Amino acid sequence: MKTVTSAWLAAAMDDLLSITEIQHNEHLTNIVAFHAQQAIEKAFKAVLEERDGTVMRIHSLETLLPKVLIHIGMDGVDFELLEDLDKLYIDARYPGDFGLLPNGKPTIEEAAAFNEIATAIYTIISDALK
């Protein structure tokens, strides 16, 4: 594995570790969503770095996903949450919306689902790249 690929995976793990520290705090569910999006984005970019040698300078998980699936299969992963994570990622960075879903901040249950998909994707990618 390339050194830069390992760096992408390490950065993704940092986001996952951040989630474990805050995931049960109902006031920080939008931040959980932010870190989940970041963990997935960095894991996706690890794949692209390792297999293509290039990393796209975009943040959309939905745009990156098809490029990653060319290299790594992820059967059983519910990718519907990626759209929500993309929306929350942008909104969490700017005052006004602060990472809101249509019905407000993500719930604790939604935050747990975001953590679950981020962890699953990271694990699949990490295992495939070893």
Q: Nearest Cα to 76, choosing from 45, 117, 41?
A: 117
The answer to whether residue 21 scores a pLDDT higher than 90 is yes
Q: Check if the beta carbon of residue 2 is closer than 8 Å to that of residue 49.
A: yes
Q: In angstroms, rounded to a whole number, what is the distance separating the alpha carbons of residues 114 and 47?
A: 20
How confident is the model at residue 96, as a pLDDT? 53
Q: Check if the beta carbon of residue 60 is closer than 8 Å to that of residue 82.
A: no
Per-residue tokens: 79: 């990718």
More confident residue, 97 or 17: 17
* Mean pLDDT to the nearest integer, 96-106: 60
* Mean pLDDT to the nearest integer, 81-100: 67
How confident is the model at residue 35, as a pLDDT? 95
Measure the N-to-C terminal CA separation of the chain; round to a whole number of Å.
Answer: 7
How confident is the model at residue 14, as a pLDDT? 98
Per-residue tokens: 34: 């932010």
What digits encode the pLDDT tens for the residues 27-47? 999 889 989 999 999 999 999
The answer to whether residue 76 scores a pLDDT higher than 70 is yes
**For the chain, what is the mean pLDDT?**
89
Distances (CA, A) of 67 to 5, 45, 47: 16, 10, 9
Q: In the CATH hierarchy, which fold is given to the domain comprising 3-129?
A: Four Helix Bundle (Hemerythrin (Met), subunit A) (1.20.120)
The answer to whether residue 104 scores a pLDDT higher than 80 is no
More confident residue, 51 or 89: 51
Burial 28-56 (b: 16+ CB within 10 A, else e): bbbbbbbbbbbbbbbbbbbbbbbbeeebe
pTM of the model: 0.90
